[in-house]
Amino acid sequence: MDNKSSLVWVDRAIIAVLVVMGVMMLMPFLWLFSMSFRPAAEAYKMPPSFLPPSLDPANYQAVLDSSVPFLRIYWNSIYVAVLSTIGQLITCTLAAFAYARLRFPGRDGLFFIMLFGLMFPAQVTILPIYLGYAQVGLLNNPLGLVLMGLTSSFGVFMLRQFMRSQPKELEEAALMDGAGYWKIFWRISLPQLKPALSALAIITFTGSWNAYFQPRALIESQNAMTLPLAMDLLRGYMGQGNISIVMAAMSMAILPVVLLFLVAQKMVIQGVTMSGIRG
């Protein structure tokens, strides 16, 4: 009995320590959010605040009024993330269906070559893409970021594995009845893939929203930038004086991913741990 109550006590102590650590983990987010509501003149006033002193949107207005085309940049981020996500959902499901359900010469070889792509870091592909984009005028163009994000080895791999774990009797029966491959794909296989598709969508969207290395290599002009590039720009641009305004921009920039996480916490964690894509 005594032993048991001391165990409970230990559990409580550990949880208390974890709560303190958890709050500390959130400090940077609390700080940036409350900073975004501090009047710019008081940005450096100490002590720092971790709760918004007011809800005056002046700093948000200042971001929109600044000479950095913030709304345009925001739109670019949405455009690249949404189109890449749609693109991957299409190309990866099509390929996964063929690799998991159809027989054709060279299938396993092709799949293996595709898997190879998982091991090349972005650093090995960026130079030729840069040179190629320079030739065809895709530098400084968000479309360039979309094109290179339209498929992924990971997406093909994950969906193929998922499809193989599903029973294939329905597809076979449909084939016997003379249904076309497209019809089988669309009517039978695709609905089965739903849970994996939402995971892939979350991963692709977050990955694209957070991407920095490739956009940084391929984009210089402000009008073509995505948000991760703009934050660094705003920081330098606004100088040391205007953290509040930078943090207002930051709050808007992280909003979609934070919302996604608050609403679909479990699914986001599953998707991200499955793929290993981090910010």
Partner 1 sequence: MARLPRSDLKAAQARAGYLFVLPSVLLYAVFVLAPVIITIILSFAYYDVSFGFFWVGLENYERFFSEPRALTIFWNTLRFAFLAVSFNVGVGLILALALNRAMPAPLLYFFRLAFFLPVIIAAAFVSVVWSYFYSFDFGVINYYLSTLGLPRVPWLNSSQFAMTSIIIMDVWKNTGFFMIILIAALQGVPKPILDAATMDGASPWRRFSRITLPFISPVLFFCIVFASIGALQVFESIVILTSGGPGDATRSLSIYLVDEAFSGFELGYAASVSVVMMVLILIITVIQLLGSRRWVTQ
Q: Distance between CA 172 and CA 165 in Å, rounded?
A: 15
**# residues contacting partner 1 (CB under 8 A):** 93
Question: How many Å apart are CA 34 and CA 175, to the nearest integer?
Answer: 60
Window contacting partner 1 (CB under 8 A); options: 59-67, 78-86, 117-125, 193-201: 117-125
| Minimum distance from residue 52 beta carbon to partner 1 (Å) | 16
Interaction between residue 237 and partner 1 (CB under 8 A): no
To the nearest whole angstrom, how small is the minimum distance from the Cβ of residue 153 to partner 1? 7
Q: Which helix (H) or strand (E) holds 50?
A: none
Q: Which of 69, 201, 261, 267 binds partner 1 (CB under 8 A)?
A: 261
Phi, psi (deg, nearest 5) at residue 267: -65, -40
**Burial, 140: exposed, middle or buried (Cβ in 10 Å; 0-12, 13-18, 19+)?**
middle
Q: Could you say which residues in the range 204-223 bind partner 1, by CB under 8 A? A: 206, 209-213, 216-217
Q: Are 200 and 190 in contact (CB under 8 A)?
A: no
Q: Cβ closer to partner 1: 21 or 173?
A: 21
Q: What are the structure tokens assigned to 54, written together?
A: 């007011």
Which window, 52-60, 61-69, 78-86, 271-279, contacts partner 1 (CB under 8 A)?
271-279
Shortest Å, Cβ 13 to partner 1: 10
Using CB under 8 A as the binding rule, the residues of this chain from 34 to 63 that contact partner 1 are: 44, 46-48
Residue appearing with tokens 């290993």: 276
